[in-house]
Amino acid sequence: MYLEADIVRETLREMADLCADGSIVAQDFYSKTFSSGEYSKIVKRQRSIIEKRGEPWKFGIDMSENSEAAVESFLMECGLKTIEISQFGEKLDNEKFYCIVEAEKL
């Protein structure tokens, strides 16, 4: 969340390049809506506090439509294939806002 999208991609690509074939990598992602502070007043306030400390939230994946496909596409760009994804938000009738992903090196 604290890095620009291109830096996140570059870091994950380099990490994938360093991994042995078949390696499993776990990571978590927030949605753009969450990281922008649009998700709730509580998140907006927390984001404001964190930004004042010099750590602005800069990255989130657009999960507004097909969140699973969006995460899978992003990881494919980084040389990783999604194996398992756990998403949070659907039970609140909201856009999915957070996910934990296991991915394998391509």
Q: pTM of the full predicted structure? A: 0.85
- Tens place of pLDDT per residue across the chain (106 aa): 789 999 999 999 999 999 999 899 999 999 988 888 777 777 777 777 778 888 888 899 999 889 999 999 999 999 999 999 999 886 556 678 899 999 999 8
Tokens of 22: 């078949």
Tokens of 53: 């400390």
Helix boundaries (H) for 1-106:
5-18, 32-35, 41-52, 67-77
| CA distances in angstroms from 14 to 10, 64, 70, 79, listed in the order given | 6, 28, 20, 9
Three-state DSSP class for 13? helix
